[in-house]
């Protein structure tokens, strides 16, 4: 039916995907159409898919398809301010695309993942404007202790017996590196595609975003700095180039979709076979050479794991890995003659010109970017640190531990000396400390709406004013917030935890003054690959004629080759208990409220 419509173009069904989908363009707008099979004789026009009963007798693929819409609706119910959430999400999606970390299929994060991360920040800072939410996004996720999960609400068991994300019961869930849990039943990990390499890349980008936001607070840089595009083809010395071709446009579209969905396998295989010593950075996009019809190619940056001593003459031979990947891809059930794939090594200086805008390699820019300035600073700091350590002044780790303990002691002392009193907007002028106390007892049902109002209170719906009674300076305020964030992000996952208690940890923070402005700026088979590293440089040698013993994978699911299948389960060790910290002020209010009502707390 779709293929016969004149408005539809580039129709590409993917029935064997983890979530079956038909991708196409409707009047130029990209659409992903999901399919769900319900056990109903008639599908009513006003069907309410938010009810769990809609999942009765549904197969796994239908449950996953319905979960997309159900999750979207649930997110909007759980965020305190939908407009601020949407504005912040648009900003973060734009940032992720500019920095090359927006792609679920490549092992990064997709639309729903970014929506869940932003929604969690909106819960923690319910009265913050989008510019502050962006800053707090980077601050929180820079400190997040993965693989602790990001969750918007408690995980519900449900009554239908469907499998939910639970690392205590499901061994496979224990190997998810960056779990971001969907809020609708059955709760799932929406980011199972993330690998060790892509998690490292995103963590570095979160840190960069946090540094830029701090510089913006100090009026040192503008918003444009945050959105500087990532120079992928300047970041590495060595790349893998994956070329695909087909006989016609329709075959190429299908072949491209299949190969793109399997590229994550190549990243995982390289990580496994090199024991994570060789790191991959997949480019989330694809490129085509206009001089070659029905051709596309993908790229992956390669580098040795940073901070590890290099043994001279040590090499990484990934020829077997590449051959295994090609054999697995060629098992495509809809394969046709002419569908070919080639994997080759290419150095930075030999990157083809068609990958650059306009088809021409740009000259080396003399303008310093944030990344180049930061790299120079880090290099200088590293040299200085080496010189100091050589003078016998102790190891960096020992000094860092001492500074951290001293910082925590100072912040703890400041928290004890500061009493933060919640204030309502000027229209009422009434204190709401007792109201916050009663709201906090409502549990996860009311999460995110009032949890930080005692120190982030909007005035007139625009800027933030300091709460009455706050006397801490800005540096202590930042330290207090960082300690609170660190405590939230470092607690290991325990099923059915009380979200009202978790979110209270941010209530000891001191008022943050909003310093941002309200508006933002916005041919032939290539050789197999063998990577060799030595102390001075990284080189790649090639050879042909390699016969290998390969493993065949016939499943079409995108979840194939998850980290759980790539390594032996590690021993489960009971996590250490979190350090004891002073209880938030709101807990003292709850205690006094309990005494007044004659109830224990």
Judged against a pLDDT cut of 70, whether residue 465 lies above it is answered with no
* pLDDT computed for residue 135 by the predictor: 96
DSSP state letter for 238: E
Judged against a pLDDT cut of 80, whether residue 500 lies above it is answered with no
The band of 516, judged by pLDDT with boundaries at 50, 70 and 90, is: very low
* pLDDT computed for residue 1 by the predictor: 92
Judged against a pLDDT cut of 90, whether residue 142 lies above it is answered with yes
The band of 311, judged by pLDDT with boundaries at 50, 70 and 90, is: confident
CA distance 91 to 321: 38
The band of 402, judged by pLDDT with boundaries at 50, 70 and 90, is: low
Cis bond before residue 285 (omega within 30° of 0): no
- Name the percent of the chain lying above pLDDT 90: 42
DSSP state letter for 339: -
CA distance 421 to 529: 63
Quote the radius of gyration of the chain (alpha carbons, Å).
Answer: 26
Judged against a pLDDT cut of 90, whether residue 189 lies above it is answered with yes
Judged against a pLDDT cut of 60, whether residue 13 lies above it is answered with yes
What backbone phi and psi angles, to 5 degrees, belong to 60? Answer: -60, -40
* pLDDT computed for residue 255 by the predictor: 92
Task: Quick: pLDDT tens for 143-157.
Answer: 999 999 999 999 988
Of 148-157, 309-318, 586-595, the one with minimum mean pLDDT is: 586-595
**387: how many CB neighbours lie within 10 A of its CB?**
10
Task: Quick: pLDDT tens for 79-92.
Answer: 999 999 999 999 99
Give, in order, the Cα–Cα distances in Å from 361 to each of 295, 297, 351, 353. 20, 17, 9, 5
Helix H or strand E encompassing 343: strand 340-347
* pLDDT computed for residue 592 by the predictor: 37
* pLDDT computed for residue 489 by the predictor: 72
CA distance 502 to 470: 23
DSSP state letter for 450: S
Q: What count of residues does the chain have?
A: 601
* pLDDT computed for residue 98 by the predictor: 96
CA 307, 539, 277, 558 torsion-angle sign:
positive
Judged against a pLDDT cut of 70, whether residue 318 lies above it is answered with yes
* pLDDT computed for residue 119 by the predictor: 98
Judged against a pLDDT cut of 90, whether residue 20 lies above it is answered with no
What backbone phi and psi angles, to 5 degrees, belong to 542? Answer: -130, 155
Task: Quick: pLDDT tens for 337-371.
Answer: 999 999 999 999 999 999 998 888 887 765 567 77
CA distance 135 to 153: 23
> What mean pLDDT comes out for the span 161-171?
91
More confident residue, 587 or 216: 216
For the ranges 32-41, 217-226, 359-368, 427-436, the maximum mean pLDDT occurs at 217-226
CA distance 503 to 152: 11
* pLDDT computed for residue 257 by the predictor: 86
* pLDDT computed for residue 232 by the predictor: 94
> Given the DSSP bridges, would you call strands 295-304 and 278-282 parallel, antiparallel or unpaired?
antiparallel
Of 133-137, 312-316, 498-502, the one with minimum mean pLDDT is: 498-502
> Considering only CA atoms, which of 467, 438, 442, 437 is closest in space to residue 589?
437
* pLDDT computed for residue 560 by the predictor: 32
- Name the percent of the chain lying above pLDDT 70: 63
Cis bond before residue 482 (omega within 30° of 0): no
Q: Is 200 helix (H, G, I), strand (E, B) or coil?
A: helix
- Name the H helices within 418-546: 433-440, 474-490, 499-503
- Inter-residue contact 150 to 168 (CB < 8 Å): no
Full DSSP string of 260-287: HHHHHHHHHHHHHHTTT-EEEEE-SS-B
CA distance 62 to 388: 60
CA distance 51 to 66: 11
* pLDDT computed for residue 307 by the predictor: 78
CA distance 44 to 34: 18
Which residues, listed in sequence order, are joined to residue 240 by a DSSP beta bridge? 300, 345
Q: How many CA atoms lie within 13 A of 413 on its CB side?
A: 6
3-state DSSP helix/strand/coil % of the chain, to nearest 5: 40, 15, 45
Judged against a pLDDT cut of 80, whether residue 568 lies above it is answered with no
CA 234, 235, 240, 243 torsion-angle sign:
negative
CA distance 103 to 113: 10
Judged against a pLDDT cut of 50, whether residue 476 lies above it is answered with yes
Judged against a pLDDT cut of 60, whether residue 258 lies above it is answered with yes
* pLDDT computed for residue 379 by the predictor: 61
Task: Quick: pLDDT tens for 200-250.
Answer: 999 999 999 999 999 999 999 999 999 999 999 999 999 999 999 999 988
- Inter-residue contact 480 to 411 (CB < 8 Å): yes
């Amino acid at each position: 039916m779709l293929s016969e419509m004149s408005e539809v173009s580039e129709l590409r069904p993917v029935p064997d995907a983890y979530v079956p989908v038909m991708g196409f363009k409707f009047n130029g707008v990209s659409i992903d159409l999901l399919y769900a099979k319900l056990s109903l004789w008639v599908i009513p026009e006003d069907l309410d898919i938010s009810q769990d009963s809609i999942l009765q007798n549904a197969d796994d693929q239908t449950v996953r398809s319905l979960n997309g819409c159900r999750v979207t609706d649930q997110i909007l119910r759980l965020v305190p301010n939908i407009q601020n959430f949407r504005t912040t999400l648009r900003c973060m999606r734009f940032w992720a695309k500019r920095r090359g970390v927006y792609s679920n299929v490549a092992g990064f994060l997709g639309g729903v993942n970014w929506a869940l991360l932003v929604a969690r920040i909106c819960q923690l800072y319910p009265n913050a404007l989008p510019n502050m939410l962006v800053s707090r996004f980077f601050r929180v996720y820079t400190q997040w202790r993965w693989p602790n999960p990001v969750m918007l609400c408690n995980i519900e068991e449900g009554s239908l017996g469907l499998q939910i994300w639970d690392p205590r019961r499901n061994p496979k869930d224990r190997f998810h590196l960056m779990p971001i849990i969907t809020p609708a039943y059955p709760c799932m990990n929406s980011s199972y595609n993330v690998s060790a390499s892509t998690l490292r890349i995103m963590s570095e980008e979160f840190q960069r975003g946090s540094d830029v936001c701090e510089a913006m607070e100090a009026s040192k840089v503008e918003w444009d700095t945050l959105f500087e595009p990532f120079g992928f083809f300047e970041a590495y010395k060595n790349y893998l180039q994956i070329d695909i071709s087909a006989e016609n446009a329709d075959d190429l579209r299908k072949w491209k979709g299949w190969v793109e969905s399997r590229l994550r396998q190549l990243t995982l295989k390289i990580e496994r076979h090199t024991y994570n010593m060789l790191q991959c950075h997949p480019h989330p996009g694809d490129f085509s050479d206009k001089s070659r019809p029905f051709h596309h190619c993908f790229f992956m940056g390669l580098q040795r794991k940073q901070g590890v001593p290099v043994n001279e003459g040590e090499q990484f031979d990934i020829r077997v890995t590449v051959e295994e990947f090609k054999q697995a891809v060629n098992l495509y059930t809809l394969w046709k003659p002419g569908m070919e794939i080639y994997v080759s090594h290419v150095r930075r200086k030999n990157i083809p010109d068609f990958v650059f805008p306009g088809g021409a390699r740009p000259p080396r820019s003399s303008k310093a970017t944030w990344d180049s300035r930061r790299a120079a600073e880090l290099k200088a700091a590293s040299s200085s640190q080496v010189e100091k350590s050589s003078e016998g002044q102790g190891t960096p780790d020992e000094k860092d531990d001492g500074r951290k303990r001293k910082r925590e002691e100072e912040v703890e002392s400041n928290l004890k000396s500061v009493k933060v009193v919640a204030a309502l907007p000027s229209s009422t002028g009434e204190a709401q400390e007792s109201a916050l106390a009663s709201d906090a007892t409502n549990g996860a049902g009311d999460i995110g709406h009032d949890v930080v109002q005692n120190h982030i209170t909007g005035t007139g719906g625009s800027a933030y004013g300091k709460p009455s009674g706050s006397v801490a300076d800005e540096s202590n305020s930042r330290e207090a917030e960082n300690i609170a964030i660190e405590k939230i992000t470092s607690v290991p996952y325990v099923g059915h935890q009380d979200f009202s208690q978790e979110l209270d940890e941010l209530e000891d923070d001191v008022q943050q003054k909003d310093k941002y402005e309200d508006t933002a700026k916005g041919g032939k088979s290539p050789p197999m690959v063998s990577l060799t590293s030595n102390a001075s440089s990284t080189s790649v040698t090639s050879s042909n004629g390699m016969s290998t013993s390969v493993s065949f994978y016939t499943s079409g699911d995108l979840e194939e080759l998850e980290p759980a299948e790539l390594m032996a389960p590690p021993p489960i060790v009971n996590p250490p208990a979190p350090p004891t910290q002073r209880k938030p002020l709101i807990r003292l209010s709850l205690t006094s409220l309990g005494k007044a009502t004659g109830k224990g707390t």
